[in-house]
C-alpha cells in the first residue's frame, strides 16, 4: 500500500485496523486523519517511525503504545483523531512482533506492563 500525503479512516459503529507497517511512504511527513464515531480505530506503525498523535475526542480516548523512539531518516506520521464515543490506539509494533492483530496487541501490552514505573 502506498500512503499518500493525506489519508483518512472513518469508523462508524465499527472497528478499523489501519496497518501502516508495510506502507510505502514517499513524503517526509504524512497525515492520517481518523474519525471514530461510536467506534474504534487502531493504527499500527513500525517501531522507529516518528509518530505525532493529536486531536480531540469527545467521550472517547486516545492512547499510544510502545516506545516513542524515532530513528533518523524515517518519515513522520501525524495521526489526527477527531470524533466522539470512540477510541484511537496507535501501536508502535516492534519488528520481532507478528501474528494477527489480537496477538500483536497482547504482546505489546505485555511489554508495556513489564516496563519500570
Query: What is the per-residue pLDDT across 76-109, written as a single tens digit (0 to 9) for each?
Result: 899 999 999 988 999 888 888 888 888 888 888 8
Q: What confidence tens digit (pLDDT) does each residue in 4-27 have?
A: 778 888 888 988 998 888 888 888
* Parent domain of 81: 2-114
Number of structural domains, the chain? 1
Query: Beta strands of the chain (E only): which ranges?
Result: 2-3, 6-12, 15-19, 24-25, 29-37, 40-46, 50-58, 61-65, 76-84, 87-93
Regarding pTM above 0.85, the answer is: no
Amino acid at each position: 500500500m502506498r500512503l499518500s500525503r493525506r489519508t483518512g479512516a472513518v469508523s462508524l459503529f465499527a472497528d478499523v485496523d489501519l496497518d501502516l507497517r508495510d506502507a510505502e511512504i514517499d513524503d517526509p511527513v504524512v497525515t492520517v486523519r481518523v474519525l471514530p464515531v461510536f467506534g474504534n480505530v487502531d493504527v499500527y506503525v513500525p517501531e522507529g517511525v516518528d509518530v505525532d498523535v493529536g486531536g480531540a475526542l469527545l467521550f472517547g480516548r486516545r492512547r499510544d503504545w510502545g516506545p516513542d523512539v524515532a530513528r533518523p531518516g524515517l518519515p513522520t506520521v501525524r495521526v489526527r483523531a477527531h470524533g466522539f464515543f470512540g477510541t484511537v490506539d496507535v501501536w508502535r509494533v516492534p519488528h520481532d512482533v507478528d501474528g494477527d492483530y489480537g496477538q500483536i496487541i497482547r504482546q505489546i501490552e505485555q511489554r508495556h506492563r513489564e516496563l519500570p514505573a
